[in-house]
Amino acid sequence: MDTTPTVSEPIISVGGARELVRYTEWADARLWAAATANDAARKDEEIRKLLEHMHTVQHMFLGLWMEESFDVMKARAAAGSPDLASLQRRVRAYYDRAHQFLGEVSGARFIGLVEMPWLAEYEKRLGMTFAKPTVAETVMQVVNHTTHHRAQAQSRLRALGAEPQLVDYIGWIWFGKPSPEWREP
């Protein structure tokens, strides 16, 4: 399989990425509000693990975008978040930094390739070399990955008797693209 990157239009513009990250923060804040408003959900280990995984991955990719060392990214991920209040502080810090990055990133950096230090392990496991993604492509990955796990958390909320929130992108548009409403857990 040829893994040479092809020259093409970026999957998303910097402005589009800013909008998607704004939407993602809004949807995450709504998920958090639903998860922390329900006693069973607040105590549920599966919900906590989903939220922690989702947001650890966000931080890892942000570290790539900001060209932090892999050791810094691993240390941040290893710090973990034992409770929802600590985890939510990490989530909000991620969004602050992500908005700052996307507000300052150059077009050249946005379409530049990123090294993913953890890929060597996957390449070895699968016996192949992967193509390198661009910052733009990894922004799309983070948005999609977050959406996937947010849907899992929404299903878990429903199973616990909590009321899932409308977190669809179209809902954000219908509501006038509001800012996120973070509530303390």
Percentage of the chain exceeding pLDDT 70 = 90
pLDDT bin (cut points 50, 70, 90) of residue 69 is confident
Structure confidence at residue 134 (pLDDT): 95
Closest CA to 169 of 144, 152, 149: 144
Structure confidence at residue 167 (pLDDT): 96
Closest CA to 31 of 177, 162, 141: 162
DSSP secondary structure string, 35-86?
HHHSHHHHH-HHHHHHHHHHHHHHHHHHHHHTT--HHHHHHHHHH--SSHHH
pLDDT in tens, 40-50: 999 999 999 99
Residue 80 has pLDDT above 70, yes or no: no
Structure confidence at residue 158 (pLDDT): 95
Structure confidence at residue 5 (pLDDT): 52
pTM summary value: 0.90
> How far apart are the C-alpha atoms of 60 and 165, rounded to whole Å?
27
Question: From residue 83, how far is each of 44, 49, 121, 173 by CA, in Å?
Answer: 11, 10, 30, 32
**Domain ranges across the chain:** 14-174
> How far apart are the C-alpha atoms of 90 and 108, rounded to whole Å?
29
For residue 180, the SS3 value is coil
| Contacts of 29-32 spanning 24+ positions with Cβ under 8 A | 29/180, 29/181, 29/182, 29/183, 30/165, 30/166, 30/167, 30/180, 30/181, 31/150, 31/153, 31/154, 31/165, 31/167, 32/88, 32/91, 32/182, 32/183, 32/185
pLDDT in tens, 134-169: 999 999 999 999 999 999 999 999 999 998 899 999
pLDDT bin (cut points 50, 70, 90) of residue 16 is very high
> How far apart are the C-alpha atoms of 119 and 117, rounded to whole Å?
5
> 135-159 and 45-65 are packed helices; what angle lies between their axes, rounded to 10 degrees?
170
Structure confidence at residue 73 (pLDDT): 67
Which residue matches tokens 């280990």? Answer: 45
- Which residues are bridge partners to 113 per DSSP? 134
Q: Give the pair of three-digit tokens for residue 51.
A: 């939220």
Mean pLDDT estimate for the chain: 90
Q: Which residue did the predictor score with more confidence, 5 or 59?
A: 59
Residue 34 has pLDDT above 80, yes or no: yes
- Multiple choice CATH, 14-174, 3.10.20.90, 3.40.50.2300, 3.40.50.300, 1.20.120.450: 1.20.120.450
Structure confidence at residue 9 (pLDDT): 76
pLDDT bin (cut points 50, 70, 90) of residue 4 is low
Residue 127 has pLDDT above 70, yes or no: yes
pLDDT in tens, 114-125: 999 888 888 999
